[in-house]
Structure 1
Amino acid sequence: MKNNLENTEKTITVKQIKSVARRPAIQNEYLKGLGLGKMNRVRVLRDTPGVRGLLIKAQHLIEIVEVK
């Protein structure tokens, strides 16, 4: 399944670089939607409009490592 994801669709690799401690609860929900939640966690996500929206909302907490 992983090979199909990498070969057929664009992907974005995202890393969480800041904690959600002392931040509004909605920002924690954004990170959960991206599959993150703990520091230095890395996820490979499909490049969809929904994911892009979450990336914009949480841009101060994450780092986009790679776009394929």
Structure 2
Amino acid sequence: MSKVRITQVKSVIDRPERQKLTIKALGLGKINRSVEQENTDAIAGMIRKVSHLVTVEEI
């Protein structure tokens, strides 16, 4: 599997609780924080749900 770098670019303030929990599950929580994850189906689904809050780049 390939790896992706996920960077949070927007705040989770005033977002639904599910989006806040998804951001936390990805390992994020603060703006400009980045994590590297394997690009599995589960991670891709989580990225899709919060795509308006994060940027994604292939590694």
Cα distance in 2 for partners of 1:23, 1:13 equals 22
Alignment gaps of 5+ in structure 1: 1-8
CA RMSD across the alignment: 0.8
Structure 1 residue ranges (4+ consecutive) displaced by more than 6 angstroms after TM superposition: none
1:52 equivalenced with 2:44 (yes/no): yes
Tell me the percent identity. Answer: 36
TM-score, reference length from structure 1: 0.82
**Greater share of helix:** 1
Once the 2 structures are TM-superposed, how far is the Cα of residue 49 of structure 1 from its aligned partner? 0.2
1:17 equivalenced with 2:35 (yes/no): no
TM-score, reference length from structure 2: 0.93
Cα distance in 2 for partners of 1:49, 1:33 equals 14
- What letter is aligned with 2:27? G
Alignment of 1:33-48 (within 5 A): 33-48=25-40
1:67 equivalenced with 2:58 (yes/no): yes
Flag the structure with larger Rg.
Answer: 1
User: Which residue of 2 is the match for residue 27 of structure 1?
Assistant: 19
- What letter is aligned with 2:58? V
Cα distance in 1 for partners of 2:22, 2:53 equals 10
